[in-house]
Every structure is written in C-alpha cells, then in structure tokens.
Amino acid sequence: MSKISTGTYWILFLVSTLIMIAMLIWMNEWFWLALPFSLTFFVKALDVV
C-alpha cells in the first residue's frame, strides 16, 4: 500500500476550521454546517481512516 501525503488534508483542515470559527463569530447558529468538514479533514490528516 502506498503512503500518500497528508499535507493537502492538513491545509483543508486549517481552512475549514477557519471557516468554522468565522461562522461561530458571525453566524453562530450555522457553524455546525462546517463542523463535519473540519472533523473529516482532521481525521484524514492524522491518517486514521
């Protein structure tokens, strides 16, 4: 099995987390829409899945 780079997943995790934080500040009732993306990219960046 080949080892893939997780750098892209880390970048996507950081971007989605920043979007989630911005949504918490300005649209706090809708922040949960960005939550699955942030958690998914975090798990993929840690190479758990």
- Enumerate the domain spans of the chain: 7-45
17 vs 6 pLDDT, higher one: 17
* Residue 2 pLDDT > 80: no
pLDDT band at 1 (very low <50, low <70, confident <90, very high): very low
* Segment 15-37, tens digit of pLDDT: 999 999 999 999 989 889 999 99
Contact 1, 30 (CB under 8 A): no
Let me know the angle formed at the C-alpha of 13 by 2 and 11, rounded to the nearest 5 degrees: 70
